[in-house]
Amino acid sequence: MFRKNAQHLQQHLFSDLDGLSEKQRARLDESWAGTFYRQFFCRLDETAFAVLYSDEASRPNIPVNVLVGLETLKSGFGWSDAEMYDAFIFDLQVRYALGYRNLGDGEFELRTTYHFRQRLSDHMQTTGVNLLDQAFAKITDEQIQSFQLKTGRLRMDSTQIASNIRQMTRLQLLVEVLQRVQRVLSAAEQAAYGEVFAPYLKGSSGQYVYHLKGEDTTSHFQQIGALMLRLLTELASTYADHPVYQMLQRVFAEQFTLTASGVQAKPGSEISASSLRSPDDPEASYRRKGQREYQGYVANVTETCDAENPFQLVVQVQTAPNTTQDTTLLAQALPQLKARTGVHTLYNDAAYCGPTVDPVLREHQVEQVPTAFVGKPPNPNKLSLTDFQVETSPTGQPQHIACPNGQSVPVETGRTAAHCLARFKHSHCEGCALQTSCPTRVRKRDLQRTLRFSTAQADVALRRQRSAAYHQDGMNYRVAIEAAIGAIKRPFSNDQSPVRGRFRVGTMMFAAAVMLNIRRIQRFLAAAAKTEPSASSSGNLNQHLASFLSALAARFHRCLWPVDRLRTAATLKC
């Protein structure tokens, strides 16, 4: 049964913090723990997680803000589950960040966190709603409003994050799948298929491949393919809905083809990068970037970048298989970013540019400023469409165009809406010194100079103009996003996440981004406290009164301590 946690809002008269000096308590409150408690823990809306619990009268849940807070701290500090649990029990800062002021309060078993993660994952699989994503967005929006940060300018970049899976060869993967199929069979079926499975059950899949070192594996592929086809045919009526059978179907389709002569293994060049990499993480995919190979996911990070902000915050983190293109990630993120932040300018690299994302940018009235481009640049010795000034309608259709010599003419529609035509007057072009390098062509009928281009070419030209203006401005808005990504991934060594599965990897990236925001807020508040003028007389009075009451409570507690000992001794004696 769900119950909201409000106990942290009403503190005990006496607590374990009474043993700290006034200076120590102030330092604790001003540390990341105090900032986490106020800026994340207290802002978390627990009621959104009520759908994970039964409506029937039963034992109340462990506080949701405590469980989500622990998941956040685990990712932010790179802890294992055991380290996270020990920190919750014994670390004063962690307990302060989670609203506890006494050691021993709120105790629960570690397996509770496992059950909570499973509920979150099941809810996402069933409804498609990621409750942690929604909580992150809501809390970040509140932080932005609280500190009055400007969000019209955003920057975006992606990074590779590897899943915690083994590196497997094709043959090892196939043997691993066969072993898992054998384990789900009934005892009678295992006996019936005992002979055909025997060669693959003599050890692990890695040991099977090890013993084949130096041999031609073609025959082994053929044997495994034939066995998989037989299993798919004979087990369909009983195991069609079983996840392991469906994995067998997927692997067979990805690795083999059926021909007139039987089952044939596909060449390595025909294996898709999105094919199964490990039975333990069916969503992970393969990608080569530079000199490195990755098996896992891509994380797309978006943060504010207005120069007037005292600090910047990460506003969105996306996680997808690493075969996902950056343009796809941008198109998916933009509607929500526009609704939440009102973004009007987006800074990114060349990978986010393309005709597939231009309509989405126009729909949400967002101007894209790339810092670089892919492909061959224009010839510097000749004019290109980039040297012309193109005015477009809100739908992106070119309306007017002006040449480098200042002649402005309307743009006509060509054979289709995507083809454009501009006719420049010959009389105006006669004395132009740029005629030899001009991309226009002279018409024989009326000697007009005509420029033909497409709407896609116009979009590229406008992006190049914005990029050139961006570099001339001297402000590099995009580059700092790489530092943010580095800070998010720092708890995970060598770009390797300690978990697998898209949901778990995404959860860790969300949580690490939360901790990055908390640390930025904490640094800002600490710097602001040093530059604040001395408090007013009323503020000093309140501070002295609070210190007096704290000291009085501590002394009262020490006075009662001998009485408590006498009562305890008397109870034990009886």
* Within a domain: 30: yes
Tell whether the model's pLDDT for residue 554 goes beyond 70: no
Distance (Å, whole) CA 150 – CA 45 = 24
Give the pair of three-digit tokens for residue 46: 């627990």
The total number of structural domains in the chain stands at 5
Specify which residues 157 forms β-bridges with. Answer: 301
CB of 239 closer than 8 Å to CB of 184: yes
Residue-range definition of the domain harbouring residue 545: 537-574
Domain-located, residue 238: yes
Backbone angles phi, psi at 263, to 5 degrees: -85, 130
Q: What is the pLDDT of residues 246-295, one digit of tens each?
A: 999 999 999 999 988 889 999 988 999 999 999 999 999 999 887 788 89
Tokens found for residue 142: 């509140």
Burial of 311 (0-12, 13-18, 19+ CB in 10 A): middle
Residues 317 and 228 in one domain: no
Residue 512 · residue 30 · CB < 8 Å: no
For 61-116, what is each residue's pLDDT tens digit? Answer: 899 999 999 999 999 999 999 999 999 999 999 999 999 999 899 999 999 999 99
Same structural domain for residues 451 and 503? no
Q: Which pLDDT tens digit goes with each residue over 380-399?
A: 888 889 899 999 888 888 99
Determine how many CB atoms are found less than 10 A away from the CB of residue 566: 10
Comparing CA positions, the residue from 380, 344, 359 lying closest to residue 464 is 380
DSSP code at position 1:
-
Which of the two residues, 11 and 161, has the higher pLDDT score? 161
Query: 174: how many CB neighbours lie within 10 A of its CB?
Result: 27
Q: Which two tokens stand for residue 141?
A: 């929006």
| DSSP structure string for 359-385 | HHHHHTT-EEEES---SPPPPTTS--G
Residue 377 covered by a domain:
no
Round to whole Å and give the CA distance between 499 and 505. 6
Of 107, 129, 151, the residue at which a domain comes to its end is 129
Residue 190 lies in a domain: yes
pLDDT tens by residue, 407-445: 899 998 888 888 899 988 877 888 788 888 888 888 776
Top pLDDT among 344 and 477 is at 344
Separation CA 508–CA 503 (nearest Å): 9
Q: Based on the number of CB atoms within 10 Å of its own CB, is 474 exposed (0-12), middle (13-18) or buried (19 or more)? A: exposed
Q: Report the C-alpha gap between 563 and 293 in whole angstroms.
A: 68
Q: Compute the distance between CA of residue 70 and CA of residue 85 in angstroms, rounded to an integer.
A: 8
Residues sharing a CB contact under 8 Å with residue 518, sequence separation 6 or more, in sequence order: 32, 35, 36, 39, 40, 76
**Nearest-5° Cα angle at 528, 526 to 530:** 75
Question: Which has more pLDDT, 121 or 425?
Answer: 121
The percentage of the chain sitting over the pLDDT mark of 70, rounded to a whole number, equals 91
Do 404 and 299 belong together in one domain? no
Residue that terminates a domain, selected from 111, 129, 147:
129
pLDDT of residue 524: 96
Note the pLDDT of residue 545.
Answer: 54
Beta strand pairing call for 256-259 and 314-321: unpaired
Same-domain pairing of 73 and 220: no
Cα 225 from Cα 252, distance rounded (Å): 7
Is the per-residue pLDDT at 541 higher than 70?
no
Residue 82 lies in a domain: yes
Residue 70 included in any domain: yes
Neighbours of 569 (CB within 10 A): 10
DSSP assigned state of 500? -
The pair of structure tokens assigned to 326 is 């950056």
Q: Which CATH number is 148's domain given? A: 3.30.420.10
pLDDT at 235 over 80: yes
Q: Same structural domain for residues 125 and 137?
A: no
pLDDT tens column, 488-540: 999 887 678 999 999 999 999 999 999 999 999 999 999 998 887 654 444 45
CB 295 within 8 A of CB 285: yes
| 13 shares its domain with 118 | yes
Q: What pLDDT is stored for residue 565 in this prediction?
A: 43
Average pLDDT over the chain, rounded to an integer: 88
Q: How far out from the chain centre does Cα 76 lie?
A: 14
Q: Is residue 49 part of a domain?
A: yes
Beginning with the edge strand found earlier in the chain, give each strand of the sheet holding 389-392 in spatial order. 389-392, 398-402, 408-413, 419-424, 449-454, 441-442
Provide the residue count of the chain: 574
Q: Is the pLDDT of residue 553 over 60?
A: no
Structure confidence by residue, pLDDT tens digits, 141-165: 999 999 999 999 999 999 999 999 9
Name the token pair of 251: 């692997």
Element (H, E) at 75: helix 64-77
Q: Are residues 184 and 230 in the same domain?
A: yes
Residue 182 and residue 121 in one domain: no
Q: Tell me, what's the pLDDT at 71?
A: 95
Evaluate if residue 316 carries a pLDDT over 90: yes
**How many Å separate Cα 128 from the centre of its chain?**
16
Asked whether residue 333 falls in the same domain as residue 402, the answer is: no
Note the Cα 543 to chain centre separation in Å. 42
**Last residue of some domain: 209, 242, 270?**
270
460 burial via Cβ count (<10 Å: 0-12, 13-18, 19+): buried
Question: Which single residue is written with the structure tokens 């402005």?
Answer: 408
Q: Assess whether 39 and 110 both reside in one domain.
A: yes
Do both 33 and 115 map to the same domain?
Answer: yes
Q: Give the three-class secondary structure for 123.
A: helix
pTM for this structure? 0.84
Q: Mean per-residue pLDDT for 356-378?
A: 87
Quick one: tokens of 216?
């031609």
pLDDT of residue 546: 54
Same domain for 420 and 552, yes or no, is no
* Distances in whole angstroms, Cα of residue 509 to Cα of each of 122, 319, 327, 492, 497: 19, 8, 20, 10, 9
CB 87 within 8 A of CB 79: yes
Q: Annotate 439-482 with DSSP letters as a single string.
A: --EE-TTT--EEEEEEHHHHHHHHHHHHHHHHHHH----STTHH
Indicate if the alpha-carbon torsion angle 446, 447, 448, 453 is positive or negative: positive
**pLDDT value of residue 48:** 94
Nearest partner of 247 among 192, 168, 178, 190, judged by Cα? 178
- Within 128-275, residue ranges assigned H as helices are 131-146, 170-184, 187-192, 194-197, 205-210, 218-234, 236-239, 243-255
19 part of a folded domain: yes
Contact at 8 Å (CB) between 32 and 38?
A: no
**Which among 192, 172, 16, 165 is positioned nearest to 554, based on CA atoms?**
16
